[in-house]
Amino acid sequence: MKTYRRRIREKVIQALHTLELRETDLATATNWLITPEIARDSNATAFFRELLQCIVDNKKEIDGYIAKHTFNWDMNRIAIIDKNILRMALAELLHFEDIPPKVSINEAIEIAKKFNSTDKSSKFVNGILDAIFNDLKSSGKIKKCGRGLIDNSKTVRVKAGEQTGTEQ
C-alpha cells in the first residue's frame, strides 16, 4: 500500500501541475491520470480525489503557510513542482488525521527526489515542511490521533488507585 499511495500522490502532483499550467477544470485535469489499476480500487480512487480536492479547496490557506516560511522567496519564484509537493504534504498534515506527519513529509521528500525540479528540491521541500510542521505543531493546528500519530487529545493524569470517567 505504501508504494501504491506514493503512485497516487505522484498522480496528484501531475494533476496539480496540469491545473497550474492550463486553464482547465478539475475533472479534465485528472481523468486521464486515473489508471485502470487505481480505478479498480475504490479506496485508491477515493484517496486520489479527496487529496486533490482538499488541496484545491484549501489552496489559499496552504499557500499562506508556504509564503510565511519561504521568507525571501516570492511564491512565483518557487518551482511549480516543488510548490505542488509542498501543497500536497500540507494538505495531508492539516486535513488527513489518519496520515502520520512523518509519512506526509517523507513521501514529499521522496517525490521531490523523483521529480527533481532543481538540484536541491528535496532539501528545499524538507526544510520548508520541517519549519511549517514545527510551527503547526507548536500552535496546536495539527490534529492527529492514533497509533504512530500525534495525539493532541487532553489526557487526565490520575494518581494510582483513583478512578476517572475516561480510560487512560
Kindly report, residue by residue over 117-129, the tens digit of the pLDDT: 888 999 999 999 9
- Closest C-alpha among 118, 76, 69, 117 to residue 90: 69
pLDDT at 3: 59
Q: At what angle do helices 121-138 and 80-95 cross, to 10 degrees?
A: 30
Q: Which has more pLDDT, 50 or 153?
A: 50
User: For the chain, how long is the longest CA-to-CA vector?
Assistant: 65
Cα gap 48→34, rounded to integer Å: 9
60-113: pLDDT as tens digits = 999 999 999 987 777 888 999 999 999 999 999 999 999 999 999 999 999 999
Asked if 133 and 105 count as a contact pair (C-beta separation under 8 A), the reply is yes
User: Quick one: cell of 29?
Assistant: 485535469
User: DSSP letter at 60?
Assistant: H
pLDDT at residue 37, as a whole number: 87
Would you call 135 helix, strand, or coil by DSSP? helix
Domains parsed from the chain with CATH numbers: 2-138 (1.10.940.10)
